[in-house]
Structure 1
Amino acid sequence: MGTPSKVTSACLRVLEFGISCIILGVLSKFIHALHQGNGSTDSRLIFAISMAAISILFTFILVPPVKYSFYCFPLDFALFICWITCFALLQDLSGTHTCSSYWYDHYWSFYWGSAWKLPAGTVVVTDFGCSQWRVVLAFSFIISFCWLTNGFLSLYVCVEYYNLGYRTVTTVR
């Protein structure tokens, strides 16, 4: 197993860890604000938080570029599928009008900006939390392809260096 594959794998795992922490932090802050305003938590956000926590756990375990971390390529592909599903579910909440959709205005922006604390009849002009929502969307897309890249790298290492792609033929006499 070559040094470039070990370094690339470790760098991708560290990137996955960092992105997972960012997604978990942003969504945790939102859910904290949501519970202060007595709002109900959307199940898609719970799925995204769960995916971030699972990703943190597995990247922490798989960061060392040793043999077992390359044998876990099916896990990399499974987490890619979970993350791309997570991105699709989150994107479907706000649709093509990311920061001007009904869901964003009446759920994310309302609770992120603490609008429930304002007196009745107060009009909020700014968009609260638009950049944070876009960060969650962008990083959930980026992390899915980090998992996919790491899966292909691990599969390549297993086939090339660990002889998973070769069959041995023995003849009996």
Structure 2
Amino acid sequence: MLLSRIFSVFLRFGEFVCAAVVMGIVAYFLHQHHKYNIGPEGREIYTEVIAVLSAVLSLIWLLPFTSQFLHYPFDLLISAAWFAAFGALVNWIHRMNCGGIFHWGGLTNGSYCSQWKAAEAFSFISACFWLASAILGFYVYHHLQNRTVATDGVATHRRRWGRSHV
């Protein structure tokens, strides 16, 4: 149980860091779109909303509550939203003449293409973190729900919310 909580904290911190990075990069893209009218505004707004929502939820769920594994359906939903954001970003790269999706050369020059690819990469990593949180939450929640607890020689079964009955 302790190992799963430590792993959960690691995943939540990773989710927050990825969301913060994507939030910053995409906010810069939105500024560029407002100033110079370049870039796909709809894709950027969607990605920014998902990044902000992820950052807030990962910080809230980072706090060690007893029921921290109960929100695995929301983790799965946010993971799907991140995969959609990744797909939206990848789909636009063909129109920008930045090379292929997996052409990672020249990423350190600070160009628009390198920033776009960084947003793609961190959105994919964030989706993987959220998916891992969903899998961990599903496993821990359903594993602990069916676990038998022994108290004073009488076997009891754990209920859904942690209380036991005889």
* TM-score, length-scaled by structure 1: 0.73
The residue identity in structure 2 corresponding to 1:142 is I
- Residue 37 of structure 1: how far off its partner (Å): 2.1
- Aligned mates of 1:35, 1:97 — CA distance in 2: 18
Deviations 1:75-120 (A, max 9, x none): 001011111111111111113986148xxxxxxxxxxxxxxxxxxx
The alignment status of 1:92 with 2:91, answered yes or no, reads: yes
Give unpaired runs (5+ residues) of structure 1.
102-125, 169-173
- Aligned mates of 1:167, 1:38 — CA distance in 2: 58
Counterpart for residue 129 of structure 1: 112
Runs of 4+ off more than 4 Å: 38-41
Give unpaired runs (5+ residues) of structure 2.
101-108, 148-156, 160-166
**Residue correspondence of structure 1 range 6-21 to structure 2 within 5 A:** 6-21=5-20
Higher percent of residues as strand: 2
Secondary structure, in 3 states, of the residue corresponding to 1:69?
coil
| 1:146 alignment partner, one of 116, 123, 129 | 129
The CA RMSD measured in Å over matched residues stands at 2.7
The verdict on how the C-alpha distance between 1:34 and 1:20 changes in structure 2, with shifts beyond 3 A counting, is: same
The verdict on how the C-alpha distance between 1:29 and 1:40 changes in structure 2, with shifts beyond 3 A counting, is: closer
Deviations 1:4-50 (A, max 9, x none): 10000001000100110000001111211222225575201110000
- Aligned mates of 1:33, 1:70 — CA distance in 2: 39
Task: Kindly indicate whether the alpha-carbon contact (under 8 Å) linking 2:30 and 2:45 is maintained by their aligned counterparts in 1.
Answer: no
Counterpart for residue 145 of structure 2: 162
- Aligned mates of 1:99, 1:129 — CA distance in 2: 9
The residue identity in structure 2 corresponding to 1:67 is T
The verdict on how the C-alpha distance between 1:98 and 1:61 changes in structure 2, with shifts beyond 3 A counting, is: farther
Task: Kindly indicate whether the alpha-carbon contact (under 8 Å) linking 2:12 and 2:58 is maintained by their aligned counterparts in 1.
Answer: yes
* TM-score, length-scaled by structure 2: 0.76
- Aligned mates of 2:7, 2:111 — CA distance in 1: 37
- Aligned mates of 1:94, 1:16 — CA distance in 2: 24
Higher RCO (CA < 8 A, seq sep 6+): 1
The verdict on how the C-alpha distance between 1:138 and 1:54 changes in structure 2, with shifts beyond 3 A counting, is: same
Task: Kindly indicate whether the alpha-carbon contact (under 8 Å) linking 1:44 and 1:90 is maintained by their aligned counterparts in 2.
Answer: yes
Counterpart for residue 82 of structure 2: 83
Counterpart for residue 47 of structure 1: 46
Task: Kindly indicate whether the alpha-carbon contact (under 8 Å) linking 2:47 and 2:85 is maintained by their aligned counterparts in 1.
Answer: yes
Percent identical among aligned pairs is 28
**Residue correspondence of structure 1 range 100-119 to structure 2 within 5 A:** 100=99
